[in-house]
Amino acid sequence: MKKRKDNGELAAIRRILARLPERADIRRGAGDDCAVVRGADRRWDWLLTSDPVIEGVHFAAGTPRAAVGRKAVGRILSDLAAMGGEPQWALLDVVAPPAMPVAHLDALYDGLLPLANRFGMAVVGGDLASGQRLEVHAFGVGRVPAGRAVLRSGARPGQGVYVTGSLGGSVRGKHLRFVPRLREGAWLRDWATAMIDVSDGLASDLRHIIEESGVGARIDLPRLPVSRAAAALRDGRGPLAHALHDGEDFELLFTIPAAREPAFAAAWRRTFKLRCSRIGSVTRRAGVLECVDPSGRVSRLTDTGYQHFAAKEKNR
């Protein structure tokens, strides 16, 4: 019998998607950062997302509980940002060892509530269960004006590929301290044709966009905004490899129509202090992800970022 680790995360997702139903009130089901559904108020579409943080996978055993709570809420806020959404409500299911001190549970909420409040998300409940290790499973609801959610499927040949902030080295602390790009995501509803948050690594997440859009992409490696943390790592991989493949940067990766790129760049500079980099372009080679190295040599990029089930669990 095949196990999940034999197929990898992407194959497991495709297998599940094939079994999910379609309904008239579902604008977009599984396959994006959030599901998009219609409600009674037709002015808005509702965004639904969920994400776990699990000890030994997404954080190390000794991580401060406040940081764990902050990360749990930050991940679902980042999903909403990637759709151009506005946060509304959250539910949190906490699985904790029976011997975990009550003070640790308090610290968990001390970390998550300020971030939720900062972005207007109300934590309205959840559940508490016993388990062998600490897990926080977060479910979030957001909203977006009807028909305005930015999906992964809108990229077209000739468009520019952009990313916010800097990439790589999140293991040095960013994965616990990142700021969800909600203001930027809502603003990008007027500009971006496709968008995703960088959670599994730039190469992996850009592949999601090109597969959903039926296009290809070419990345200019010298243009990648490599973080100081990635440049400081000394593990033999190199800063560019970290920028391409490290997960949990939680920056926004998106595409902009070529004709609008000059106006977009000027508008971004007027509106935000956050760095935004043009790192490549969308091509007609469906499913093909290429990169251009500093010498101008073009090669096909075949390896991806982090995938669940593909390797042994690791602390992120």
Instruction: Give CA–CA dist 224/276, Å, rounded.
Output: 10
Strand partners, 291: 219, 299
**Confidence band (pLDDT; 50, 70, 90) for 79?**
very high
Of the given ranges (178-182, 207-211, 229-233, 305-309), which has the lowest mean pLDDT? 305-309
| Mean pLDDT, residues 198-220 taken together | 97
Query: Does the pLDDT value for residue 304 go beyond 60?
Result: no
Residue type, 258: A
Residue 234 token pair:
């000394």
Parallel/antiparallel/unpaired status of strands 86-96 and 122-130: parallel
**Which domains can be identified in the chain, with CATH numbers?**
4-145 (3.30.1330.10), 160-300 (3.90.650.10)
| Model pTM score | 0.92
**For residues 219 and 294, is the Cβ–Cβ distance under 8 A?**
no
Strand partners, 164: 276
**For residues 167 and 280, is the Cβ–Cβ distance under 8 A?**
no
Residue type, 222: P
Who wins on pLDDT, 184 or 2? 184
Q: What three-state secondary structure class fits 287?
A: coil
